[in-house]
Amino acid sequence: MLKMSESDANFGSSGAEMESDDSMVSQGTDARLVEQARRGDTDAFGQLAQRYERRVIKVIRRFMPDQDLALDLAQESFLKAFDRLDQFDPSRRFGPWLFRIAVNTTYDYLRKIKRKGRWALFSEAGEDRVPDPAAADPRGDLDLSQEVHIVLADIPEAYRTVLVLRDLEGFSTSEVAAVTERSEATIRWRLAEARRMFKDAWERRDRSIEEESLG
């Protein structure tokens, strides 16, 4: 169903994207560029950033749909990667390491937002809990993508990451294992659980919509 490229530069990408990135692949391998970047060559790091930026932004947007925020988080992820190049193990692939930084940066941001909301002096939560009966159901305005995002947000991070990377971004289970630094067996288990959680949550959502339309 999902055939992934083994190329680092096309980590988790679809075939169409692979073709468009072919010219970039010829500019040098990731390993060579990483080595140059570690010696302070920002142009080499620039080539790596340009090679991966679209994929990184796409992955971040699965967790954070806002395009501007996703761009900021992608930039922050690349900066972190540049700062930590000396911690990168050159015997491993650069792609999973970079995506791990991007996913962790995104989760850090989401946790920060959650904490801010919890400790805010004035909360608007009370207003949210009392919907205006005259107002139309806001869910009608949501598209499928937004609804799926809302359902995914309720799935625990460890499972959500696997589901997003495997089913929405098309990474192979071995690639997801490399990004999350877990064994493939663990990823298979989490993937099964994540799909079950998504199915249950989606069916609950369907049932509540049906009940509301009947009642």
Partner 1 sequence: MQKQSLNCADARHLVHLAVGDDTLPEEELRLTDHLHVCSDCRAYHAGMVDAMHVIERVRDNDCDEIPMGSVWPALADKLKARQSRVYVPQGRRFNGAVAALCACSLLLAFVTAVQNLPSNYPDAISGFSPVSAVNVKLQNNGGSAQNHQRQLVQMAGPNGTILWVDPLTGQAYVPNIMQALDDGKSNLNF
Nearest distance, CB of residue 125 and partner 1, angstroms: 28
Binding segment toward partner 1, per CB under 8 A, in 89-97, 105-113, 125-133, 196-204: 196-204
Q: Which of 27, 35, 36, 58 binds partner 1 (CB under 8 A)?
A: 58
Nearest Cα to Cα of residue 10 among 45, 41, 40, 54: 54
Q: Closer CB to partner 1, residue 96 or residue 197?
A: 197
168 binds partner 1 (CB under 8 A): yes
Residues 6+ apart with CB under 8 A from 49: 78
Distance from C-alpha of 196 to C-alpha of 176, rounded to nearest angstrom: 18
79 makes contact with partner 1 (CB under 8 A): yes
Pick between residue 123 and residue 207 the one whose CB is nearest to partner 1. Answer: 207
Q: Which is nearer to partner 1, 93 or 172 (CB)?
A: 172
Residues contacting residue 199 through CB under 8 Å, at least 6 positions apart: none
How far is 195 from 167, CA to CA, in rounded Å? Answer: 9
| Packing angle, helices 94-119 and 42-63, rounded to 10 | 50
- The whole-angstrom separation of Cα 74 and Cα 60 is 7
Q: With contacts defined by CB under 8 A, how many residues of the chain interact with partner 1?
A: 40
Residues contributing to the site for partner 1 (CB under 8 A): 1-2, 42, 45-46, 49-50, 53-54, 56-58, 61, 67, 71, 74-75, 78-79, 82, 144-145, 148, 163, 166-170, 173, 188, 191-193, 195-196, 198-199, 202-203
